[in-house]
């Protein structure tokens, strides 16, 4: 057999004068692919095309490479998908003549001259019968489904790859995603955020900025603020403010329509200038004015502050936290104190009057109505609500932050709020929860870094502390390398 003969293949064609006729088809193969040695080929499966009485051999590889619109097959494809693909390509061949591609071998089916392939392509497309077009659509759909099924089966056991910070953060994109963070990730985040490192000179990284919440402005937390979430530590005011900002952004009716959590920054600064609740500051010799604290004003949502029926306002003085509940509709104020059921001293009464005045001025500044008119604005009273609270002295801020989320003002009846208090180990665990909630918040511009560096923390061998559902972690539980 000569090289020329080896490039010939026979196709049966039905003509009006006879049932079947043999038409030679010349397939041109590049010189680099031609051989002079005889090669024995295994017979290939035959495929029946509708409308013919005989079968046609499998489409050559060169034809597959030039057939347009064929989806790339996966590495391993189901045999049924291969048959369907071959059938689709053969059916297309009967009605489609491709454009000439200088980089690919050309071929002719005896329908047109190879030099006229480009010009005849559009005419051939227009001459397709409706039956052929329908068949092509069905075959194309079949090939896509089979290939997709085969690819899906191949990907059932993908290899585990190292995750980057961006890939890890994608796991927590939903608003409720914080609730799906596994416990070990929360523990690692707690360790990373609260642990202070000391260098050879004795300096620590307490002033390192590790969290930037994007709300009305950029609210920056340093490592020293997160470190206050360690066990038996008084929690910094910035942590409570961060939780207020996060809650106010939650897409829930409670925070979008009913309750506004007022960040405590301005109130805390005002109390530092009026330490005993004096209306005239002993430092500034002036009364309280909202405009005197411009660095914190932009963290207040004026629209919610003036429109929501309830304002929850955390207050801290002398290391102790309590919560004001302000009903802006009825102009009524109540205090939830984790430690006290009434004002513990006359000084506290004066402080309460002053903070009530501050809240009234803030609401007015935001465009709402004052809690009292005229000079009565300085005589605002708030009754204490009897409620179960803290068991140890360090947990007042934990209770206040949880109350921001859970307290229903309408359930306060006759100055009491009935509920089941948390066990102490659960309160301890809330410190771990708040660290991850802040650092993994979608508002945190440095969230990817927090996830990435928390993931890199290696916990030591399991201990009773780490296995507890209410974990408290210290340096003994960490592999420092």
Separation between Cα atoms, residue 387 and residue 334, nearest integer Å: 12
Q: State the sign of the Cα–Cα–Cα–Cα dihedral 435, 440, 442, 448.
A: positive
Is residue 1 predicted with pLDDT exceeding 60?
Answer: no
- Pairing verdict, β 218-222 and 209-214: antiparallel
Is residue 156 predicted with pLDDT exceeding 80?
Answer: no
Whole-prediction pTM value? Answer: 0.62
* Average confidence score pLDDT of the chain: 74
pLDDT at 93: 46
Separation between Cα atoms, residue 331 and residue 367, nearest integer Å: 15
Collapsed DSSP state (helix, strand, coil) of residue 121: helix
pLDDT at 162: 31
Instruction: Give the tokens for residue 330.
Output: 């009825």
Q: pLDDT-based confidence at 474, cuts 50/70/90?
A: low
pLDDT at 59: 45
pLDDT at 139: 59
Collapsed DSSP state (helix, strand, coil) of residue 48: coil
Domain boundaries, the chain: 43-154, 171-477
Is residue 389 predicted with pLDDT exceeding 60?
Answer: yes
Least confident of 55-64, 274-283, 471-480: 55-64
Q: Side by side, which strands form the sheet with 259-261?
A: 259-261, 310-317, 320-327, 332-336, 383-384
Q: What is the pLDDT of residues 397-428, one digit of tens each?
A: 999 999 999 999 999 999 999 888 999 999 99
Q: Which CATH entry fits the domain spanning 171-477: 3.40.395.10, 3.30.2320.50, 2.40.50.140, 2.40.30.10?
A: 3.40.395.10
pLDDT at 182: 84
Is residue 210 predicted with pLDDT exceeding 80?
Answer: yes
Least confident of 112-116, 163-167, 221-225, 432-436: 163-167
Average of per-residue pLDDT across 70-82: 43
| 386, 417 contact by CB (below 8 A) | yes
95-99, 111-115, 124-128, 477-481: range with highest mean pLDDT: 477-481
Instruction: Give the tokens for residue 153.
Output: 């089966």
Separation between Cα atoms, residue 454 and residue 277, nearest integer Å: 43
Q: What percent of the chain has pLDDT over 70?
A: 58
Average of per-residue pLDDT across 141-161: 49
Q: Over the range 235-265, which residues count as b (16 or more CB within 10 Å of their CB) and which as e?
A: bbbbbbbbbbbbbbbeeeeebeeebbbbbbb
Average of per-residue pLDDT across 87-108: 44
pLDDT at 73: 40
Average of per-residue pLDDT across 271-293: 94
Collapsed DSSP state (helix, strand, coil) of residue 416: strand
Q: What is the pLDDT of residues 213-266, one digit of tens each?
A: 998 789 999 999 999 999 889 999 999 999 999 999 999 999 999 999 999 999
Is residue 99 predicted with pLDDT exceeding 80?
Answer: no
Q: What is the pLDDT of residues 237-250, one digit of tens each?
A: 999 999 999 999 99
Q: Over the range 422-432, which residues count as b (16 or more CB within 10 Å of their CB) and which as e?
A: beeeebbbbbb
């Amino acid at each position: 057999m000569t090289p020329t003969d080896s490039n010939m293949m026979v196709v049966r064609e039905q003509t009006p004068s006879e049932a079947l006729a043999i038409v030679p088809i010349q397939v041109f193969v590049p010189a680099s692919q031609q051989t002079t040695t005889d090669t024995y080929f295994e017979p290939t499966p035959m495929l029946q095309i509708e409308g013919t009485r005989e079968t046609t051999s499998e489409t050559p590889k060169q034809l597959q490479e030039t057939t347009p619109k064929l989806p790339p097959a996966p590495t391993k494809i189901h045999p049924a998908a291969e048959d369907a693909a071959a059938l689709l390509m053969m059916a297309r061949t009967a009605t489609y003549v491709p454009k000439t591609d200088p980089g690919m071998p050309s071929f002719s089916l005896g329908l047109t001259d190879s030099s006229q392939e480009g010009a005849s392509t559009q005419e051939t497309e227009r001459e397709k019968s409706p039956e052929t077009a329908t068949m092509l659509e069905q075959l194309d759909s079949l090939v896509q489904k089979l290939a997709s099924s085969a690819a899906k089966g191949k990907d059932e056991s993908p290899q585990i790859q190292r995750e980057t910070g961006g890939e890890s953060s994608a796991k927590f994109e939903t608003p409720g995603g914080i609730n799906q963070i596994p416990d070990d990730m929360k523990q690692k985040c707690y360790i990373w955020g609260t642990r202070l490192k000391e260098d050879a000179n004795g300096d620590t990284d307490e002033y390192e900025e590790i969290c930037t919440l994007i709300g009305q402005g950029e609210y920056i937390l340093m490592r020293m603020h997160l470190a206050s979430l360690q066990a038996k530590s008084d929690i910094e005011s910035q942590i409570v403010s961060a939780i207020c900002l996060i809650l106010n952004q939650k897409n829930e009716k409670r925070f979008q329509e009913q309750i506004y959590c007022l960040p405590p920054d301005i109130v805390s600064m005002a109390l530092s200038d009026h330490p005993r609740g004096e209306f005239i500051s002993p430092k500034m010799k002036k009364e309280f004015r909202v405009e005197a604290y411009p660095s914190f004003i932009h963290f207040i949502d004026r629209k919610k502050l003036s429109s929501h029926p309830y304002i929850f306002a955390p207050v801290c003085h002398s290391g102790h936290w309590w919560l004001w509940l302000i009903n802006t509709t009825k102009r009524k104020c109540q205090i939830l104190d984790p430690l006290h059921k009434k004002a513990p001293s006359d000084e506290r009464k004066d402080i309460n009057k002053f903070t009530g005045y501050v809240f009234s001025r803030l609401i007015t500044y935001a465009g709402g109505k004052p809690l009292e008119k005229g000079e009565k604005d300085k005589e605002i009273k708030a009754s204490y609500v009897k409620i179960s609270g803290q068991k140890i002295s360090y947990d007042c801020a934990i209770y206040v932050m949880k109350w921001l989320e859970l307290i229903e003002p309408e359930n306060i009846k006759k100055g009491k709020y009935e509920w089941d208090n948390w066990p102490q180990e659960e309160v301890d665990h809330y410190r771990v929860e708040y660290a991850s909630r802040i650092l993994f918040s979608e508002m945190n511009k440095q969230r990817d870094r927090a996830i990435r560096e928390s993931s890199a923390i290696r916990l030591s061998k399991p201990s009773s502390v780490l296995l507890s559902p209410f974990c408290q972690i210290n340096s003994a539980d960490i592999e420092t390398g």
